[in-house]
Amino acid sequence: MRCPICADEFFWPDEPTVSLHNAEHDRYELVDISALSPAKQADLARRGYRECPNPSGDTSRHFLPATYANYADPLVVGLVGASTSGKTHLLTAMIRQAYTGGLRPYRITAAALDFRRHAHFRENYIERFERGGALPATKTGIIDAADILLLRGPGGERPVTFFDVAGEDLESPEARNRASRFLVGADAVIFVHASDDPLETRRPAAASENKSFDLAIERLQGIDGSGALPATIAVTKSDRLRYQPPADRWLRRGDEQVLDAARIRDESRDVYAYLHHIGAGASLRPFESFARTTMHFVSASGGDAVGEAMDKWFPRGVRPTRVLEPLVSILAMTGVIPGVEAEKVGKP
Ligand SMILES: Nc1nc2c(ncn2[C@@H]2O[C@H](COP(=O)(O)OP(=O)(O)OP(=O)(O)O)[C@@H](O)[C@H]2O)c(=O)[nH]1
Ligand SMILES: [Mg+2]
Ligand SMILES: [Zn+2]
């Protein structure tokens, strides 16, 4: 199997042990479960971890949920976008909504697979976001996943690992940048472009350059079969476009309740026209580079934050809009949402 964290392939031995996290000492302890009843074994496996043998040794020690290898077809989804483009807010709003039943129209439920990782994500991201606090910039040099969920639905059970690293690392041309290595194991990519964002990204909105997209595409193209990788472009911070066609009409729709490939194609066409019109042609490169792509207008917070650098908040609270649409497209293109309609998503 392939480890979702370090992207190395390794053999997962059938050992009767799991590592349990000891919170008091903040360490993992190896427990032999062979003498326990099957019910207790299953319970400990659900709560326990397995250390990745870390074959290339290019990552620090890391642990996977002990049940990870029980699932046949795990997914790794990465976010790519410039620094302050809105990746972390979008991922937080997306995972939050997936948890609160947002994928119900597709008969998919979401649960934590990695309980410790999810508890951390909940406390530090979801809860802060729900209180109307802006989230801090992601630290550079992080080579770890944000969260690992288990999605259950008509397509079976699929673990989904999300990567959200610092835009600065994604924009760094340094060869073999460790933080962007997740791309090597990615099954799908969410490209994040901030609409109307000259202030925060410190570049004119029209400048047709998108280093993070270019570098990621270049890196992905070095991998066999990467052309078939499903990708979606999320134009986030679209709340700033809410009175502007064509974004207004999509934002007003709110969350969709059915999968409709033709509607997704219409939205993609509108996003394409928008990006083209503002001269952000470079942000359309994923569309040209991958066989299956969709594009969406989204807003994580629903409005601008106020305040200073480390202490920013959303004065009217947060109102995520259409944040699940990029994820739903990815789920359709990766078969997590099965069926004939899903098979049409992202195709011309
Ligand atoms: N108006 C509006 N502002 C947003 C939205 N999402 C994020 N922002 C603003 O954009 C800033 C940056 O967002 P982040 O999610 O931290 O961006 P990032 O891409 O994760 O940035 P790095 O971690 O530095 O790569 C936030 O502090 C917010 O002020 C949105 O949906 N609407
Ligand atoms: Mg971030
Ligand atoms: Zn690993």
Give per-residue pLDDT as tens, 214-269.
999 999 998 888 888 999 999 999 999 999 999 999 999 999 999 999 999 999 99
For residues 15 and 214, give the distance between their C-alpha atoms in angstroms, rounded to a whole number: 43
Judged by its nearest atom, the ligand closest to the C-alpha of residue 191 is 1
For residues 309 and 140, give the distance between their C-alpha atoms in angstroms, rounded to a whole number: 17
Q: Please, which residues have CB within 8 angstroms of residue 104's CB and are 6 or more apart in sequence? A: none
- Beta-bridge partners for 299: 321
Question: What are the pLDDT digits (tens) for 132-180?
Answer: 999 999 999 988 999 999 999 999 999 999 999 999 999 987 756 788 8
Question: What are the pLDDT digits (tens) for 67-105?
Answer: 999 998 999 999 999 999 999 999 999 999 999 999 999
* Per-residue confidence band for 39, with pLDDT thresholds at 50, 70 and 90: very high
In this structure, which amino acid lies at residue 75? L
Judged by its nearest atom, the ligand closest to the C-alpha of residue 51 is 3
* Per-residue confidence band for 203, with pLDDT thresholds at 50, 70 and 90: low
For residue 175, the model assigns a pLDDT of 56
Pocket lined around ligand 1, Cβ cut-off 6 Å? 81, 83-89, 134-135, 137-138, 166-167, 200, 236-237, 239-240, 299-301, 303-305, 312
Residues with CB under 5 A from ligand 3 (ion): 3, 5-6, 52
Residue-range domain boundaries for the chain: 17-70, 75-344
Test site for ligand 1: of 92, 238, 301, 318, most ligand atoms within 8 A of the Cβ: 301
Q: Which CATH number describes the domain made up of 75-344? A: 3.40.50.300
Q: Residue with the nearest Cα to atom 23 of ligand 1?
A: 138
- Beta-bridge partners for 148: 161
Could you give the C-alpha distances from 106 to 103, 205, 214, 325, in angstroms and in order?
5, 35, 33, 12
Q: Which atom of ligand 1 is nearest to the CA of 169?
A: 25
Q: Residue with the nearest Cα to atom 8 of ligand 1?
A: 86
* Per-residue confidence band for 51, with pLDDT thresholds at 50, 70 and 90: very high
pTM, full prediction? 0.96
Plot region of 313 (φ>0 → left; ψ -120 to 50 → alpha; else → beta): beta
Judged by its nearest atom, the ligand closest to the C-alpha of residue 55 is 3
Q: Which atom of ligand 1 is nearest to the CA of 91?
A: 15
What the block records as the tokens of 245 is 């066609």
Q: Please, which residues have CB within 8 angstroms of residue 185's CB and are 6 or more apart in sequence? A: 2, 3, 4, 7, 76
- In 10 A of CB 294, how many CB atoms? 26
For residues 325 and 315, give the distance between their C-alpha atoms in angstroms, rounded to a whole number: 25
